[in-house]
Amino acid sequence: MNKPLNNRMQQREKIIDQLTENLVESTVAVLPKECDPDTRKKIRHEVSDRITFEANVALNEMVTKYCLPETPREEKQPEQEERTFLRFGKNFRAQHMLMFVSVIILIITGMPLKFPELSISKFLIIDLMGGLENSTLIHRVGAVGLILVGIWHLLYTALTAIGRRDFFLMIPMPKDIKDFWHTMLYFFGRRASGPKFARFSFIEKFDYWAVYWGMIIMIGSGSIMWFKELFPKFAFDISREAHSDEGLLATLSIVVWHFYNVHFNPGVFPMSWTWWHGRLTESEMKHHHALEYAEIIEAESKEIRAGQNETDNTGGES
Ligand code: HEM
């Protein structure tokens, strides 16, 4: 970084410090008595962090908006339309589609076997699928779909750059524990806002690893039951128990946890369409993935500055 830029950054830090100081000082009179010096220090620290973050995002956003030369993306979009960001590419969306079709088939054909006494089970197996023979055959079709998507995802993770990047970003980090705690404090009214997430929040990481683990158990135990003649009886018994319980757990976690996050949450109801077009709007990015958004905007803004420097150095000749 060159010297004048360094000086300007230091100047900006000073301004933010001063602003925070003034803000906190002007609020001291209205702070409750319990607000001891330590808490005030914490408040000062968090306010300063927030101002720095918002100021950086706003500055980069404005530079991108007003100084970026017209790009094909902007030419294509009508002016009022909100900018969108690609979150999931075609390959990943296709994997997700094959996965949910397979899992829905597996749930509809598996659950009635676990709860045969229910009238809905009789309806599904006898009236809808025409008997046990058909339903177990359809269960195996769903199972092949799930196995294929498992292999596909492993290859995608190993062989594509985006797959590898996302896999590493999915690994749980100490920040996830902090974010979890921050979210709890926020839910209980002890923080004014929730944590800021990067590309994957701790909730999304939990979702991903739960499915990973679930697939290993379901495919492993299902295959042992499918080809029971190749295994000892105790392996079949253990597999049946594991398959049955993990199947119920997977069904409940999909219906309660996953459906809440992507369908019933008031913020996305009736459904988030990201599974179809793979995109998030600018406001969704700011709200759900503020750190990733800040990174993208900063990278764009750097690109523009580099472009401008090049034009300056060549005297604007092309
Ligand atoms: C999300 C995925 C899955 C769910 C929710 C699911 C659910 C179930 C349930 C609840 C049962 C009845 C267990 C009982 O009798 O208590 C069952 C049976 C069975 N499942 Fe699955 N399953 C899934 C995936 C698979 C896979 C991947 C395979 C094969 C690789 C498989 C093969 C079987 C077999 C062979 C049976 C025994 C009944 C039959 O012959 O159809 N399942 N499944």
pLDDT of residue 70: 58
Nearest CA, atom 8, ligand 1: 110
For residue 92, give Cα distances in angstroms to 74, 146, 149, 161, 229.
26, 15, 10, 13, 36
Judge contact between 282 and 83, C-beta under 8 A.
Answer: yes
pLDDT of residue 79: 56
Among 102, 121, 218, 228, residue to substitute to test ligand 1 (most atoms within 8 Å of Cβ): 218
pLDDT of residue 63: 75
Query: How far does residue 265's CA lie from ligand 1's centre (Å)?
Result: 30
Query: How far does residue 188's CA lie from ligand 1's centre (Å)?
Result: 40
For residue 292, give Cα distances in angstroms to 2, 85, 198, 299.
26, 11, 5, 11
pLDDT tens sequence across 118-161: 999 999 999 999 999 999 999 999 999 999 999 999 999 999 99
One-letter identity of residue 16: I
Query: How far does residue 243's CA lie from ligand 1's centre (Å)?
Result: 6
Residue 246 CA to residue 252 CA, distance in Å, equals 10
Ligand 1 in contact with 223 (CB < 6 A)? yes
Nearest to 88 by CA among 80, 97, 101: 97
pLDDT tens sequence across 48-97: 778 878 877 787 777 777 776 655 554 445 456 889 999 999 999 999 99
Residue 228 CA to residue 234 CA, distance in Å, equals 10
Q: Tokens in use for 218?
A: 């379901």
* pLDDT < 70 regions, the chain: 1-6, 28-34, 68-80, 311-318
**Domains of the chain with CATH codes:** 92-281 (1.20.950.20)
pLDDT of residue 36: 75
Task: Locate all alpha helices (DSSP H) within 124-232, ordered by sequence.
Answer: 132-159, 161-169, 174-187, 202-226
Judge contact between 274 and 88, C-beta under 8 A.
Answer: yes
Ligand 1 in contact with 246 (CB < 6 A)? no
pLDDT of residue 1: 47
Among 108, 113, 224, residue to substitute to test ligand 1 (most atoms within 8 Å of Cβ): 113
Atom of ligand 1 nearest to the CA of 139: 41
Query: How far does residue 208's CA lie from ligand 1's centre (Å)?
Result: 21
Query: How far does residue 106's CA lie from ligand 1's centre (Å)?
Result: 7
pTM, entire model: 0.76
pLDDT of residue 53: 80
pLDDT of residue 16: 80
Query: How far does residue 171's CA lie from ligand 1's centre (Å)?
Result: 29
- For the chain, give the mean pLDDT: 87
Among 102, 104, 138, 225, residue to substitute to test ligand 1 (most atoms within 8 Å of Cβ): 225
pLDDT of residue 281: 93
